[in-house]
C-alpha cells in the first residue's frame, strides 16, 4: 500500500504546480501510453499546462486513444515539475532523462524492480498496472476522472492484465475497472482495439518468430532478427506481443524471446509461470519488470546473447528444482 504521507505530499506538490511534464518509458506498451495519457488528460482537466512525452513513437495499436498525437519525444520549455509513469528506473526513459536529472518529482509505478528513483514514489507492486494505481489515486490527488482519462487508464489496465488474465489481476483491478467504466470508458471497444485486433504484418512477424521456436528443459524460446521484421513488413519497434504468446505454451516454466534491435543490442523478454521469478534474471542484466514478465537489453550477437541467457535461465530453473519445497 502507498503511504498516505506520500499521497498528501504529491497532492500538495501538484496543487502548487502549473506547468507539468509527464514521461513514460522507451518501447511503450499499453500501460505506459494509457497511464501517460490518463494522468496527462486528468491534469489538463484540472487546469494544468501539461506536456506528455515518450522517447519512442506511439505504437499504431494505441493510436485510437484520445490525444495520442499530443505525445512528443522532444518536450519544449520549462516545467515546474516532472512526473514519470510505469517506469522502474531513470535509464528507461532514454534521452528524456535530461528533463529531470537527477530525479523526477513524482513516480507512479507498479514494477517490483522499481528503484525508488523519484523524490516522491507512488509505487504499488501489488497492482496489476500503473493505470490501476492512477485510477485509485486521481480522487485523493484532487484530479478529475474524465471520460477520456478513464478510456486511457482502462487501456493500460486491460493491456497489462492481458484482459484480466494475469496472476496479478485482483479484486482491486476489477474495482478500478468498474470505476473507469462508470466514468464512461468502453471495456468492449478498448479490449477490441488494444488486445483483440492486430495488423497483418504483426501476424506475419509471429510466423517468422514462431518458425524459430524451440522447446527444451522447460523453456520455450524464439528469435526475431532484423531480417524477420523486414520479411514480415513489420515497422513497429516491439515484438507485436509475441513474447506473451510464447508464454502460453503448455508444459513450460519459462518463455524467452530474443529481438534484434537496430543499435546492435538484443532485447530479451521473459515470461514465466508462478513461482519462477524472471525479474531477478532481467535485473541481473540491467533490466527489470515483474516476477512473471520481465525484459532487458544485452549488447552482443544473437547467438552470443541466446547462449548466455539460456544458460542463466536453465540455471534459475535448476536452482528452483533443487530448493527444498516449502512446508504446508
The residues binding Mn ion (CB under 5 A) are 31, 86, 129-130, 160
Verify binding: residue 113, ligand 5GP, rule CB under 6 A. Answer: yes
Tally the residues of the chain.
328
- CA-closest candidate to residue 136, choices 7, 271, 265: 7
C-alpha cell at 294: 520481465
Q: Which is nearer to Mn ion, 17 or 114 (CB)?
A: 114
Site string for ligand 5GP, 236-255 (x = CB under 6 A): -------x------------
Vertex 31 angle, CA 27 and 32, to 5°: 45
Q: Which does 145 bind (CB under 5 to 8 A by kind): Mn ion, ligand 5GP, none?
A: none
User: What distance in Å separates the CA atoms of residue 275 and residue 108, rounded to the nearest whole number?
Assistant: 26
180: partner contacted, choices Mn ion, ligand 5GP, none (Cβ within 5-8 A by kind): none
Are the beta carbons of 72 and 187 closer than 8 angstroms?
Answer: no
Q: How far is the CB of 33 from Mn ion (least distance, A)?
A: 10
Q: Binding residue for ligand 5GP (CB under 6 A) from 13, 41, 50, 293?
A: 293
- Yes or no: say if 217 and 182 are a contact pair by the CB < 8 Å rule: no
Alpha-carbon distance 328 to 263, whole Å?
49
Question: Which of Mn ion, ligand 5GP, none does residue 51 bind to, with CB < 5 to 8 Å depending on kind?
Answer: none
CA-based nearest residue to 275, from 295, 292, 260, 297 = 292
- Alpha carbons 146 and 149: distance in angstroms, whole number: 5
28 is in the binding site of which of ligand 5GP, Mn ion, none (Cβ under 5 to 8 A by kind)?
none
Question: Residue 21 in contact with residue 99, Cβ under 8 Å?
Answer: yes
Query: Cβ of residue 133: shortest distance to ligand 5GP, in angstroms?
Result: 13
Which range binds ligand 5GP by CB under 6 A, 47-55, 87-95, 117-125, 184-192? 87-95
> How distant is the alpha carbon of residue 263 from its chain centre?
21
Nearer to ligand 5GP, 132 or 297 (CB): 297
Closest separation in Å from C-beta 71 to Mn ion: 17
- The answer to whether residue 297 forms part of the interface with ligand 5GP (CB under 6 A) is yes
Q: Binding segment for ligand 5GP among 56-64, 85-93, 120-128, 226-234 (CB under 6 A)?
A: 85-93
Residues 262-291 that bind ligand 5GP (CB under 6 A): 269, 287-290
What's the rounded Cα separation, in Å, for the pair 189 and 182?
15
Beta bridge partners, 269, equal 257, 295
Q: Which is nearer to Mn ion, 2 or 228 (CB)?
A: 2
Cell representation of residue 288: 527489470
Binding to ligand 5GP, residues 10-39 (CB under 6 A): none
283 bridge partner residues: none
Q: Which is nearer to ligand 5GP, 148 or 241 (CB)?
A: 241
Provide the binding-site residues for ligand 5GP, judged by CB under 6 A: 88-89, 92, 111, 113, 243, 269, 287-290, 293-297
Amino acid at each position: 500500500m502507498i503511504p498516505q504521507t506520500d499521497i498528501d505530499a504529491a497532492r500538495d506538490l501538484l496543487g502548487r504546480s502549473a506547468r507539468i511534464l509527464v514521461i513514460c518509458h522507451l518501447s511503450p506498451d499499453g500501460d505506459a501510453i494509457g497511464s501517460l495519457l490518463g494522468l496527462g488528460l486528468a491534469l489538463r482537466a484540472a487546469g494544468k499546462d501539461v506536456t506528455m512525452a515518450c522517447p519512442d513513437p506511439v505504437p499504431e495499436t494505441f493510436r485510437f486513444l484520445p490525444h495520442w498525437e499530443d505525445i512528443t519525444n522532444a518536450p519544449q520549455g520549462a516545467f515546474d515539475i516532472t512526473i514519470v509513469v510505469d517506469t522502474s528506473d531513470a535509464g528507461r526513459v532514454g534521452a528524456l532523462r535530461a528533463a529531470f536529472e537527477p530525479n523526477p518529482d513524482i513516480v507512479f509505478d507498479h514494477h517490483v524492480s522499481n528503484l525508488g528513483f523519484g523524490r516522491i514514489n507512488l509505487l504499488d507492486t501489488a497492482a496489476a498496472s500503473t493505470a490501476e494505481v492512477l485510477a485509485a489515486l486521481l480522487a485523493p490527488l484532487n484530479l478529475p476522472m474524465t471520460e477520456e482519462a478513464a478510456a486511457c487508464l482502462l487501456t493500460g489496465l486491460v493491456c497489462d492484465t492481458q484482459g484480466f488474465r494475469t496472476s496479478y489481476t485482483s479484486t482491486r483491478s476489477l474495482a478500478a475497472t468498474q470505476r473507469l467504466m462508470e466514468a464512461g470508458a468502453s471495456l468492449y471497444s478498448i479490449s477490441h482495439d488494444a488486445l483483440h485486433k492486430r495488423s497483418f504484418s504483426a501476424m506475419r512477424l509471429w510466423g517468422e518468430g514462431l518458425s524459430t521456436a524451440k522447446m527444451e528443459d522447460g523453456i520455450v524460446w524464439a528469435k526475431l532478427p532484423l531480417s524477420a521484421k523486414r520479411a514480415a513488413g513489420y515497422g513497429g519497434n516491439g515484438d507485436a506481443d509475441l513474447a506473451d504468446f510464447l508464454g502460453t505454451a503448455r508444459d513450460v516454466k519459462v518463455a524467452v524471446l530474443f529481438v534484434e534491435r537496430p543499435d546492435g543490442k538484443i532485447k530479451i523478454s521473459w515470461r514465466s509461470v508462478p513461482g519462477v521469478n524472471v525479474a531477478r534474471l532481467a535485473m541481473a542484466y540491467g533490466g527489470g519488470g515483474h516476477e512473471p514478465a520481465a525484459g532487458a537489453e544485452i549488447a552482443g550477437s544473437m547467438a552470443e546473447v541466446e547462449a548466455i541467457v539460456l544458460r542463466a535461465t536453465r540455471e534459475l530453473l535448476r536452482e528452483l528444482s533443487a530448493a527444498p519445497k516449502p512446508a504446508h
